[in-house]
């Protein structure tokens, strides 16, 4: 169930903690939102909560970043914004990442929707509200 929640950008950490609670049962998180809505900023906070401290950045040009937390767990962070077709997903081995049982966080997931049909997902939608606040919905 989607319940819109307004938050100030200074409270991004508290929002990330709500999301972290849901990652106990979900290994796939889809982030929707227009450019500049705060997707990567929120993902950085989530990664800090997962004990990842080095090199968290948007994979806009690399398509995927691989992080490793202090427990040795891998997390894959995708930015699919630049992809033009589904063949490019195949070229990077997208399905193998999803099947790895590691957490996959995906920005701009629209091009890959057919890959998620049988997977349990957490859906995060971000919207601009004011220059210093956002509206977020979190749903399964």
Instruction: Enumerate the domain spans of the chain.
Output: 5-139
Q: What's this model's pTM, rounded to 2 decimal places?
A: 0.92
d(CA 27, CA 122): 8
- Do 63 and 80 touch, CB atoms closer than 8 A? yes
d(CA 133, CA 67): 28
How confident is the model over 100-119, as a mean pLDDT? Answer: 94
Q: Is the pLDDT of residue 3 over 80?
A: no
What is the average pLDDT value for the chain, to the nearest integer?
92
Does the domain at 5-139 match CATH 3.40.50.300? Answer given as yes
Tell me which residue of 47, 28, 15 sits closest to 106, measured CA to CA: 28
- Do 97 and 76 touch, CB atoms closer than 8 A? yes
Confidence of residue 2 (pLDDT cuts 50, 70, 90): low
Task: Output the six-digit token pair for 104.
Answer: 């996959």
Of residues 4 and 32, more confidently modeled: 32
Q: Is the pLDDT of residue 1 over 70?
A: no
Please, what is the end-to-end C-alpha distance for the chain in angstroms? Answer: 7
């Amino acid at each position: 169930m989607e319940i819109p929640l307004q938050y100030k950008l200074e409270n991004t950490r508290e929002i990330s903690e709500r999301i972290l609670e849901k990652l106990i049962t979900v290994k796939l998180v889809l982030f929707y939102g227009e450019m500049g809505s705060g997707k990567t900023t929120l993902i950085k906070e989530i990664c800090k909560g997962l004990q990842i401290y080095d090199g968290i950045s948007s994979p806009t040009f690399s398509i995927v970043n691989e992080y490793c937390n202090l427990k040795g767990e891998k997390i894959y962070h995708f930015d699919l914004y630049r992809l033009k077709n589904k063949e490019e997903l195949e070229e990077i081995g997208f399905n193998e990442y999803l099947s790895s049982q590691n957490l996959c966080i995906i920005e701009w997931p629209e091009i890959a929707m057919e890959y998620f049909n049988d997977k349990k997902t957490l859906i995060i939608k971000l919207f601009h509200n004011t220059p210093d606040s956002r509206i977020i919905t979190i749903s399964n």
